[in-house]
Amino acid sequence: MHIHLPKPLHGWREFIGEVGIIVIGVLIALAAEQAIEALHHRSQVHDAIAALHAESNENRSAFDANVVGLQRSQASVETDLAALDDCGNASRPDRLVPVVQSVWLVPSDHAWIGVRDGALLPLLPAELRDSYFKVNTFKDLMMPGINAIYTERAVAGARVEAMRRGLRDPGLCRDAVVQLLNLQMQQDFNLKDTLALRSFNEDALRGEHLDAVARPVGLDISTAGPPKD
């Protein structure tokens, strides 16, 4: 009886070869999958950046309109304050003009929300992500002030209109002056913020690094680059 033993050396070589082929095939498949995923992410990032830039371009008209509207309203307030003076003999109620009730256009943020909620933020360049985060954060911070201006305009406008219609009560005049001064200060504060936000939007479009801090007197925005080591 003859027993034939397997040849371990020849068998292991074949086994290792087969395993190696399998491993190489798996690695190639994983590399191809990662390459496809990287290309897909690159395409998503490209589309997201294009959408953010397009939205910023569209928002330019809103920022410009808001600046003009606030300036026109401020001009009407200044005219009325000059006409009322100190409610004394120098007052000229006949020179009063209606307080301009301009509309503050809310800049669009659909592209930003889509990027933020679509889990694309980690894939965006850090500078770009930071800039658009600031643009939209400060826009949201400004909204309570805008709502307050609408209220103050209605109050001050009503008093001015009453005097334009012939009411000459000294108390009403003093109240109108106070309301107009309050509105003037609030609009001046918001105008500075709107101008800063418009500038911020432009800098974000250019891809510049921005340092922005919310201060009591408005937005303080510096276009200086990041600190160097």
Q: Which residues does residue 219 pair with via DSSP β-bridges, in sequence order?
A: 214
Please tell me the predicted confidence (pLDDT) of residue 224.
37
Looking at per-residue confidence, does 127 or 229 come out higher? 127
pTM for the predicted model, two decimal places: 0.73
Main-chain phi, psi angles of 169, to 5 degrees:
-65, 125
**3 inside domain:** no
**86 inside domain:** yes
Residues 182, 92, 163, CA angle at the centre, nearest 5°?
A: 60
H/E stretch holding 218 reads strand 218-222
**25 inside domain:** yes
**227 inside domain:** no
| Domains identified in the chain, total number | 1
Strand 211-215 relative to strand 218-222: parallel, antiparallel, unpaired?
Answer: antiparallel
Please tell me the predicted confidence (pLDDT) of residue 65.
94
**216 inside domain:** yes
**Residues 102, 72: Cα–Cα separation, whole Å:** 8
* pLDDT at residue 227 is higher than 50: no
Residue 104 tokens, joined? 């503050």
**Residues 211, 93: Cα–Cα separation, whole Å:** 46
Q: Which amino acid is at 148?
A: A
**14 inside domain:** yes
Please tell me the predicted confidence (pLDDT) of residue 16.
67
Please tell me the predicted confidence (pLDDT) of residue 48.
83
**169 inside domain:** yes
Which letter, b or e, does each residue of 35-69 get, where b requires 16 or more Cβ atoms within 10 Å of its Cβ? eeeeeeeeebbeebbeebbebbeebeebbeebeeb
Q: Smallest Cα–Cα separation from 99: which of 158, 149, 143, 144?
A: 158
Maximum average pLDDT range among 31-45, 94-108, 115-129: 94-108
Please tell me the predicted confidence (pLDDT) of residue 30.
67
Main-chain phi, psi angles of 219, to 5 degrees:
-85, 130
**122 inside domain:** yes
Query: What residues make up the domain containing 127?
Result: 9-222
Q: Tens digit of pLDDT for each residue in 124-166? A: 888 888 888 888 888 888 888 899 999 999 999 999 999 999 8
DSSP structure class, residue 167? -
